[in-house]
Amino acid sequence: MLILEKPYVSEKLIQTAIENNLPVLRNAMSEKLVADGYALNLYDDEQFIAEYQKRHRIYTMSENALGWIVEKLPDEELKKKIELLKNKATFRRICQDMYPDFFFCEVAIKDMGDIDASTLHFPLVLKPSVGFLSAGVYVVHNAEEWKAAIDDIQLNFKKVGEQFPEYVVGTQNFLIEEYIKGEEYAVDAYFDEKGEPVIWNIYHHRFANESDTSDRLYCSSRKLYDQYEKPFMDFLIQTNKVIGLRDFPMHIEFRYDGKKAIPIEINPLRFAGFCLNELQTHISGIHPIMAYLNNIHITKEEMWKGKENDTYNFLVLERPAGAPKEQMFDSAKFTSSVMDVLELRPLADPTAGVAATAFTRVDPAHEAEFDFILNLDMKEFMK
């Protein structure tokens, strides 16, 4: 069962829903897709609720879909789980026993200007208690950067928040927490009917430098699974002893300090956004959403058979700030600039803030391409 919503639904997901005759909630997004000629299996609210009560497995395309669940779905336990995971401050409190030395506090946005920077321990991270992608996330190294972040939040974050409902990007409270050292990783996983975790995607979220908070590059490889599948699985097992999730997908972001996987945030009832999770379709040929809905389990050996030495990547290619609306992504130039483009998805909507997403493959001889991607100037790839 699917709830399709803004900001983005891929052609691959639409065709997967049609081929598998998946129940899709009738809403503005799905009705538009049907009007565009897609033969989706639409269910009205009452039909969708009745079907959910039979299947108990629902996938939300984006955080925007959570509003319908909160307002319409008569499953109070599910709503409690969503709220518990969606609020970063609440989630930190849940994990406190697992990470007793980790510093965090929640503060109202109206009170942030009153905080004395000399009382803070830098570096730190400042982010909305409820958030989506990297909106409103600041890595702060000193008092000067703290003031700049507060000024930017007061001036600009409300505008960012207005692009999403309040339950997607909260504009009232911010979380101040210690900067987690180490590399950043992300995981798409679901809990089956017994509450056992199943990991489908593991990504290395690469950055150009320490201050970079963009979503430009995510990488996956067999080597990554060999190194991190166990610590991430251990976290899921321990966390679910507290939360008790069943029939539940999620996207988790971690930093790994070499000893322990420390969660940054969890996004409920979905995998990675902007269809990043479909990187798995280029690795195993299986759509991770169908894996969740059909309770599919496979080993990493099966998943990576024949692809053990390559790295598979997902790129979010941002639309340059101030780019004229008529400017579009130059697909041909980008394709000729990297080793192997598996799939390219230009976005025509200039308000999305993204020019294109791409799935690519890199072999061991071309790993310098990662730095190229992280540092490319998107102005050069517009026409």
- Prior bond to 123 cis, omega within 30? yes
pLDDT at 47: 98
Let me know whether 67 and 103 are in one domain.
no
pLDDT at 288: 97
Band (pLDDT 50/70/90 cuts) for residue 158 is low
Band (pLDDT 50/70/90 cuts) for residue 136 is low
Do the bridges between strand 104-108 and strand 59-60 make them parallel or antiparallel, or are there none, so unpaired? Answer: unpaired
Q: Indicate the residue among 58, 85, 112 that finishes a domain.
A: 85
Least confident window among 119-128, 194-203, 333-342? 119-128
Q: State pTM to two decimals.
A: 0.85
Mean pLDDT to the nearest integer, 369-378: 94
338-365 burial, b if ≥16 CB within 10 A, otherwise e?
beebebbbebeeeeebbbbbbbbbbeee
Mean pLDDT to the nearest integer, 181-187: 92
The pLDDT tens digits for 284-325 are: 999 999 999 999 999 999 999 999 999 999 999 999 988 898
Let me know whether 202 and 144 are in one domain.
no
The CATH number for 267's domain is 3.30.470.20
Identify the residue with better confidence: 102 or 47: 47
Band (pLDDT 50/70/90 cuts) for residue 40 is very high
Let me know whether 203 and 318 are in one domain.
yes
Please provide the average confidence, as pLDDT, over all residues in the chain: 90
Domain that holds residue 220: 183-381
Strand order in 217-221's β-sheet? Answer: 261-268, 248-256, 183-191, 197-206, 217-221, 311-318, 354-362, 340-346
